[in-house]
Amino acid sequence: MNEFKTARNWLDNADAVIISAGNGLSITEGYNIFAHDEAFMTHFGTFYERYGIMNILQGAFYNYPTVAERDAFYKVLFDYMVDHYESTPVFRDLKQLVGDHEYFVVTSNGNMHFQLSGFDEERIFEVEGNFGNNQNPMPMIQKQQAKFNAFVQKYRSQNVVILELGIGANNQLIKALLMQLVAQSLSYRYITLNLPHEINIPAAIEQRSIGLAGSIDDNFKELLKND
């Protein structure tokens, strides 16, 4: 059985799925917060010309001279990432893979694309908040974290698959935490989809892990090939 068939078998037979997602998933959709590209200049060109801001990430943390200027940037960001967003094939494929399984999402992406693509907002943990709540995110983050912890406790001894999408190899905020869960729970399995140089599977969990290197959208299609 090849890795794609094994991964699909794990997903199909899971009691629950934990979806973890980073910037790689957003980049697959076409939203790159690191890029100084045409999309950035189309939406944020004024901020480049005025302050020399090169990408969305820099703009989000820039020390603007006034609160009004900061708010103006975040309004453009919200319009671009949230208000004008339409769910993409990547998310439709992800929903098909998860199917009717119980799930929880853990993501560092603040763009709210999981909610906007039909995932239950009560089952999403946005570890750094989201663009709709950037002024005081901690109460929301703490509430979401408590729900995630309860989910983990509920399924601690059951067959759980962690499906990791586009999280950097050395990420500590999400990846390290979830790999530790896999190491501690022998019924947990770990599937990571990422570019080849970002695949990182520790030896301690490699027997219960699969790394699918390449683009997330292509790997989704391969996982869904027989549907």
Query: For 129-157, how does the pLDDT look when each residue is reduced to its tens digit (9 = 90+)?
Result: 998 877 788 999 999 999 999 999 999 99
Kindly give the interhelix angle for 3-12 and 216-223, rounded to the nearest 10 degrees: 70
How far, in whole angstroms, is CA 168 from its chain's centroid? 11
pLDDT reported for residue 133: 79
pLDDT reported for residue 132: 83
Length of the chain: 227
Kindly state the percentage of the chain with pLDDT values over 90: 95
Give the largest CA-CA distance in the chain: 59
Tokens of residue 52, six digits: 């020399």
pTM, to two decimals: 0.95
Query: For 20-62, how does the pLDDT look when each residue is reduced to its tens digit (9 = 90+)?
Result: 999 999 999 999 999 999 999 999 999 999 999 999 999 999 9
Question: Is residue 217 over pLDDT 90?
Answer: yes
Q: Euclidean distance between the first and final Cα of the chain, in Å?
A: 17
Question: What are the residue boundaries of the structural domains of the chain, listed by start?
Answer: 3-30+88-223, 38-83
Average pLDDT on 190-203 reads: 96
Of 178, 11, 212, the closest CA to residue 98 belongs to 11
Give CA–CA dist 22/168, Å, rounded.
Answer: 7
pLDDT reported for residue 101: 98
Query: For 62-106, how does the pLDDT look when each residue is reduced to its tens digit (9 = 90+)?
Result: 999 999 999 999 999 999 999 999 999 999 999 999 999 999 999
Give CA–CA dist 11/15, Å, rounded.
Answer: 9
Question: Is residue 162 over pLDDT 80?
Answer: yes
Place of tokens 């929880």: 104
Positive or negative, the CA dihedral 110, 115, 119, 121 is: positive
Give CA–CA dist 20/40, Å, rounded.
Answer: 26
pLDDT reported for residue 62: 97
Average pLDDT on 177-199 reads: 96
Contact at 8 Å (CB) between 175 and 211?
A: no
Contact at 8 Å (CB) between 54 and 37?
A: no
CATH 3.40.50.1110 fits 3-30+88-223, yes or no: no
Please name the residue ranges forming H helices in 79-215: 89-98, 113-116, 138-154, 175-184
Query: For 110-120, how does the pLDDT look when each residue is reduced to its tens digit (9 = 90+)?
Result: 999 999 999 99
Element holding 47 (H helix, E strand): helix 38-51
Question: Is residue 1 over pLDDT 60?
Answer: no
Give CA–CA dist 128/171, Å, rounded.
Answer: 14
Identify any residues that bridge with 209 across adjacent strands, giving them in sequence order. Answer: 190
Tokens of residue 158, six digits: 């059951």
Contact at 8 Å (CB) between 105 and 123?
A: yes
Give CA–CA dist 130/27, Å, rounded.
Answer: 17
